[in-house]
Each structure stands twice: as C-alpha cells, then as structure tokens.
Amino acid sequence: MTIFRRLLPALLLCFFTTALVAQQLQTVDRIYDPKVQTALLFPQVGANPNDPSLTLNPPVISLDEQVSLQLEFDDLTADYRSFRAKLVHCNADWQKSVLNDIEFTYEYNDNPITDYQVSLNTKIPYYHYRFTVPKVKLPGNYLLVVYDERNRNNIILTRRFSTYQNKVAVSASVRFSTDPSRQFTDQQIDMAISYKGYQVISPQDDFKVVIRQNYRDDREIRGLRPTNVQAFDQVLDYRLVDLSNTMPGGNEFRFFDTRTILSRANYIDRIDRKADRNIAYVQVDQPRSQGSYIQSDDFNGFFVIDHRETGNGQTNADYIETIFTLRIPELPDVNVYVNGAFNFWKLDDRTRMTFDSVLGAYRASVLLKQGVYNYDYVVQPTTGQQKANESYIEGSFSSTENDYEVFVYHRPPASRADQLIAYQRVGVNKRK
C-alpha cells in the first residue's frame, strides 16, 4: 500500500499526459464544455479581491512581484463537479515546450479546484469556481488546463498566461503610420531593445519580439528583425520601413450595460422578463465604416461582470439571453459575427449572426452573464483564404485609443525553452 501511494502521483500524471495527447489539446484560450461560461483569468492586485475592474487586466505578471493570477468560471449544470488544474509550459510560438514539470513548478503539477459557491437568486442557476494559479519558476508562456477529475479525458477549458522578468530594457512608442496612404487608418509601433549586461550570442537573431494589440492573440505582429544594431551601445532599433510594424487602428468598441434588469441601462432597447430567463435586446447597430472617427471611452474589447443591486457579480449576476441586431443589407458570400473578449475573439457558431429578411438586419443571440461588455462586428468571407475583416463594418482610424504590449523572448545558452525576458505596455491616444 505504501509503494502504491508513492507511485500514484506519477501514474496520474502519466494518465493525464496520455489524455492530453488523445484529445490533441490546443494551446489557445478555449472553453470545451458548453455548460461552462465566463472563464476569467486576471492578476489579483489591490486591496479588494472582488473588484470587478480587475478583469480588465491581462493575465501577464512579473515573477519579481508578489502578484498571483486568479481563475474564475461558472458551471451551468448547477451540479457540483470535481475539477482539477494543470500547467503546460510553452515556447514563444505557444507550442508545448520539452520542459518537465519539475523544471518550471515548485510543487506537484496537478491541483484540485475546491473553492466554489452557488449562485443566489438567479433564474439560471450555476456553480461559481475560483482557483489561484500556483507560482512558477521560469518566465515565459503557460497554458492553464482545467479538466474533470472524474473523467480526465474531459478537458473543460484552457487559458493562456505569461510571466516575465525584465532582463533587458524595452522602449516603445506608437504613432500614425508613416505611409501616407495609411496615416489615417493605421498605427505604427517603433521600439528599441537595450541589452546591456545581458548575455546573448547573436542579438540580431536570438531575440523573438511579439507585439500585441489590445491583449488580443488574433492581433499580433511576429517575426520582426532589427533595422539597426548598435553593437557598442548594445541597442537594437526596430524602425521598419516595410511597415511590418504597422497595424490597423480599428475603432472604439461598442458597449452595453446589463448590470441590472430592473430598468434599461446604457444601449439596452428593452428587457423581457420571462419565468425561466431574462432576454435583453441591445439597441440596433449601424455600420461605422463611413464617416469620421467619433471619440468614446471603452474597455478595448474587454468586459466586467457586475450586479448593480448587490455589487456581487460573482454569484448574484444572472445569465441573460442577449440579442444583437446589426441593420445592414444581406452580404453575399460572407458570415457576420458579433465579436469580443467574451468569446476569446473566436468566430464560431456561438457568435455567428443570421440575416432576418423581415427585419432587414442580422441577428445573434448570445448567453452572457450580467455586466458591461465591449463588442464589435466582423465579416468572414466563406470562399477563398481571405481573413476576417473587422474594418468592413467598424472602420479603422489612427486616432483610436489602443493598448499595445511588447514581448521579448530569448532562449539562454544551455536552456531548453524560450523565456520572456522583457515585457512593456504602451498606450496611444490616451485621454485620461
């Protein structure tokens, strides 16, 4: 019996690894279980751990600071289920690394999720789970995997996060595109890396730079190479004339407020209060690609969960059937989606809109927890290999307020995986 207890953790780990291979786990933000909703991962900072605005921060933390990551999600089966969590280490390209668990974790890499609460006074009942992500040893990319303890083949959700240690210095700035034809639509990110005191063999080749807009993994720039190497000063300049460091500015996000169902809040047309659920109709939207840029405040695509009457959105906020309506003529050979961080920017059946010929508009119904949400509309061609187009309906303006992140990865000599050795956030067109 003693030998079995000693071998049990290793046997479970082997079984879990086999399950991951069998399911071909993707290293992306994704909810696999349709009964699980609102999977939030955010830094736990500040004096109030229940502050809803904490979720507006990306899951990127410094290993040199005493900050932990908090995972929260809801299980709409309304029955208690035993969940466990595991970490997977990834390289700069988000592919699983070859590191063993003991190389990046301080303790056994398989943790039960035991903190949960039952929803209160909601028409759609759910269990609300919380989990504090364990500390890791190495700076880099990680995937948090939640799975069903009773069926280890059943992956519930996955969330990406990153940890960093600033071992080199990054300076970055954002401006209008230097291309005259794109100066009113695109934004350009110029940057430099100072690696004084840091050991690197080939600076122009060894650093991997990633630029991300508004914390979105679908809005990234990769593969940048320095335009100038100042060997004496140990500085790399990234001021590219080929515009590979340029991104569409996009537009400010649309938003609506469902923190209360007792009255119509911002951009809610009406609320139907049925016995088994509430239905909120967002005000009818129009295209914004024509005309001038209009300044407005937003969350850069994010959302917050909140309940106005109690101030406790974790367990008092109900799930509402939210109806989006976009008044635009039917578009041939494209799918239209409502898009936002609430769906991890993923264009799928959940957010795909259908054209209603009677209304003369596209509509979508999405089940969302009460809160304040940012969103926009995207068209995806159904033929060819064309990418999704966010500017077709929303427009793109270089005056848009955006957040950018710069990630610098490097694989030190004798190391077997990429490490995140610098992280910098920079905003453009900030107004407060």
pLDDT digits (tens, 9 = 90+) for 358-377: 999 999 999 999 999 999 99
Domain stops at, among 164, 194, 228: 164
Per-residue confidence (pLDDT) for residue 47, from 0 to 100 = 66
Domain boundary among 164, 193, 227: 164
Shared domain check, 290 and 374: yes
Mean pLDDT computed over 413-426: 96
Taking residues 72-98, report their average pLDDT.
97
Instruction: Using the structure block, give the residue that is written with the tokens 């969590």.
Output: 85
**pLDDT at site 25:** 80
Q: Are residues 371 and 405 in the same domain?
A: no
Together in a domain, 268 and 373: yes
Phi (first) and psi of residue 16, to 5 degrees: -65, -40
44-74 per-residue burial string, b: 16 or more CB within 10 A, e: under 16: ebeeeeeebebbbbbbbbebeeeeebbbbbb
Is residue 188 located within the same domain as residue 150?
no
- What Å distances lie between residue 367 and 19, 49, 248, 306, CA to CA? 30, 26, 30, 15
Domain that residue 415 falls in = 169-249+400-428
Closest CA to 170 of 251, 223, 226, 253: 226
Residue 222 sits in a domain whose CATH number is 2.60.40
160 plus 279 within the same structural domain: no
Can you give the pLDDT at residue 7? 42
Same domain, residue pair 87 and 193? no
What's residue 383's pLDDT?
A: 85
Claim to verify: residue 70 and residue 185 sit in the same structural domain: no
Q: Are residues 78 and 130 in the same domain?
A: yes
User: Which residues make Cβ contacts (< 8 Å) with residue 17, sequence separation at least 6?
Assistant: none
3-state secondary structure 168-207: CEEEEEEEECCCHHHCCCEEEEEEEEECCCCCCCCHHHHC
Identify the DSSP state of 407.
Answer: E
Do 100 and 139 reside in the same domain of the chain? yes
Number of domains in the chain: 3
Q: Are residues 294 and 376 in the same domain?
A: yes
Among residues 255, 330, 251, the alpha carbon closest in space to that of 285 is found at 255
Domain boundary among 164, 182, 203: 164
Same domain, 301 and 344: yes
- Model confidence pLDDT, tens digit, residues 219-278: 999 999 999 999 999 999 999 989 999 999 999 999 999 999 999 999 999 999 999 999
pTM above 0.85, yes or no: yes
Examine the domain organization and report whether 173 and 266 are in the same domain.
no
Average pLDDT in the chain:
93
